[in-house]
Amino acid sequence: MKRVLLGMSGGVDSTVAAILLQKSGYSVEGVYMKLHNNEDYHKTNFNKAKRVAEYLNIHIHYLDITDEFNDRVYEYFIDSYKEGLTPNPCIVCNKEIKFGRLVEFADSLDIEYISTGHYVKSDGKNILMAKDQSKDQSYFLAKIRSKIIPRLIFPLGDMLKSEVKKIASNIPILLDIATQKESSEICFVEGEYTDLLKEHFDIDKEGEVLDLEGNVVGRHKGYMHYTIGKRRGFFVHGAHQPHYVLKLDSQKNQIVVGTKEYLSRVQFKIKDINMFEELSNFDCDIKVRYRTKAVPATVSIDGNKATVRLKEPVFGLASGQFAVMYNKDRLIGGGEIVA
């Protein structure tokens, strides 16, 4: 019987993944990964994961990797905002922790296959978009190592979220899990990200608002409160049209603003590229944020950097976010945006 290590969070997705893996004939072991120091959060969710494991008669491990998570994900998140960037910690976490440290733990147990409750598909060679486009998480897997793809199993890839909830709701002992509130996208952020930043920095230092010519036109409440495309929370003298954040200067605590047309971009660069196929100059569809549609583009790779030329404009392109490339529904690579 093939053995699989399943990341179990105590939520409905990993719970149903465990059920489906068992029905498919796998010998399942679970692992709950403690990623941060919210003890109440972990106590609640590990107890749910244990209840699922007991119901399914599978062994569950408890893996405390808070130090690694802090070094590889949390510090990256904090440092990015300090530098005036807009980070995506979930992409980094998937590379370093969920499909990095999890694989290492599977190796230590001599388990070949790794599974999670992600909404994504794999054919053993490629990562593919999920059936449920509203839940598709392939974007977040753009930086994982291609060599592990043959080991990955995604039981929810061909399912709708409604179908997943129905499976869990038909099992009385799991009903509370089936009906619980969806978890937040960033597991260690409760409330606003600025509340977390305040634990590390004085983010409320007022600064200057500049126009595109470098003229001081207003005041803002501290550059870490803003991301590219934001249109509120700052004052512009004499403005008769909505103004948006176009650029952040972390060194001078300044923001540059302008009207919406200046948010439009048709060309940008990316760095630290991770590719699942050997390509250099190619056409693809590209997403510049998770919740945006993919747009057609031409990509020219030079080493670990690339130039992206879009065939239609995007708005609010932010340095630090990730551009993720697709060939139809197939994930082919991604890199960090240098706007």
Catalytic residues: 93, 187
Q: How far is CA 282 from the centre of its chain?
A: 25
Tell the burial category of 237 from Cβ atoms under 10 Å away from its Cβ (0-12, 13-18, 19+).
Answer: exposed
d(CA 103, CA 81): 29
Phi-psi region of 242 (alpha: psi -120 to 50; beta: other; left: phi over 0): beta
The angle formed by the CA atoms of residues 183, 120 and 307, to the nearest 5 degrees, is 100
Amino acid in the structure at residue 266: V
Q: How far is CA 115 from the centre of its chain?
A: 17
| Ranges assigned E (strand) in 189-243 | 207-210, 216-220, 234-236
For 335, the enclosing helix (H) or strand (E) is strand 330-338
Phi-psi region of 191 (alpha: psi -120 to 50; beta: other; left: phi over 0): left
Alpha helix (H) residue ranges in the chain: 12-23, 39-56, 66-69, 75-82, 89-93, 102-108, 161-169, 175-179, 193-197
Q: Look at residues 69, 75, 77 and name the one whose alpha carbon lies nearest to residue 37.
A: 69
